[in-house]
């Protein structure tokens, strides 16, 4: 069983997976590569002067994989409670089990709604429905979290990436039973 399964590998999901994998949590990242991020050109991402969407997405995947996150190219079709966690089924017929699930599905809430996760009206342009979350990223189902566009934050890459990181830190803290920080010292 994975400790964390992240569904969606745009900035929100890949950033979440980067944090959970770097924290040593057995992490699965499921993505069907139909997100919005690849279509953009970014000049407002703090710390990066400019970057194209494909490069931003692919670098994020590599960063998460570097720390052991397993990326599978699949469409998640259902999430059901199973034992101490959840079973995620995919379109190809594969199943994965995880203790915690982070939904980072961008503009799409169909998987959340189908899985009993509460949704609400969106506030951002063109985002009609989002997952209802608390300030930590928790949904109405304990163990299912949401981050990024699908969690209703402002539709900007740096904000969705930050929201994925925030939610991951909260998941890691819950798994560890104490607040978690990830600070590395300057390498000389």
Name which position in 156, 174, 175, 180 contacts ligand FAD (CB under 6 A): 156
DSSP per residue, the chain = -EEEEEE--SHHHHHHHHHHHHTT--EEEEE-S--SGGG-EES-STT-S-EEHHHHHHHHHHHHHHTTPEEEE--EEEEEEETTEEEEEETTS-EEEEEEEEE--TT--HHHHHTT--EEE--STT--EEE---TTSB-SSTTEEE-GGGGT--S-HHHHHHHHHHHHHHHHHHHHTS------PPP-
Task: Please report, as residue ranges, which positions from 9 to 38 form the binding site for ligand FAD (by CB under 6 A).
Answer: 9-13, 30-37
Shortest gap between Cβ of 72 and ligand FAD (angstroms)? 9
CB of 84 to ligand FAD, least distance (A): 23
Asked whether position 167 contacts ligand FAD by CB under 6 A, the answer is: no
Total residues contacting ligand FAD (rule CB under 6 A)? 34
Is 160 a binder of ligand FAD (CB under 6 A)?
yes
Determine, following the binding rule CB under 6 A, whether residue 63 of this chain makes contact with ligand FAD.
no
The residues that touch ligand FAD, with contacts defined as CB under 6 A, are 7-13, 30-37, 39-42, 44, 75-76, 104-106, 108, 111, 148-149, 155-158, 160
């Amino acid at each position: 069983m994975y400790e964390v399964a992240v569904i969606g590998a745009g900035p929100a999901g890949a950033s979440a997976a980067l944090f959970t994998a770097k924290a040593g949590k057995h992490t699965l990242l499921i993505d069907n590569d139909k997100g919005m991020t690849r279509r953009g050109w970014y000049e407002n991402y703090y710390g990066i002067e400019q970057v194209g969407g494909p490069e931003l997405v692919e670098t994020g995947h590599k960063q998460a994989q570097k720390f052991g996150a397993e990326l599978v190219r699949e469409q998640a079709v259902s999430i059901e409670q199973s034992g101490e966690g959840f079973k995620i089924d995919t379109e190809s017929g594969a199943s994965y089990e995880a203790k915690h699930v982070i939904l980072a599905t961008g503009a799409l809430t169909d998987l959340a709604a189908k899985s009993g996760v509460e949704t609400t009206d969106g506030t951002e342009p063109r985002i009609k429905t989002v997952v209802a979350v608390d300030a930590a990223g928790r949904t109405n189902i304990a163990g299912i979290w949401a981050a990024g566009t699908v969690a209703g934050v402002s539709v900007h890459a740096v904000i969705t990436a930050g929201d994925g990181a925030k939610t991951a830190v909260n998941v890691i803290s819950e798994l560890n039973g104490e607040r978690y920080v990830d600070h590395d010292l300057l390498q000389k």
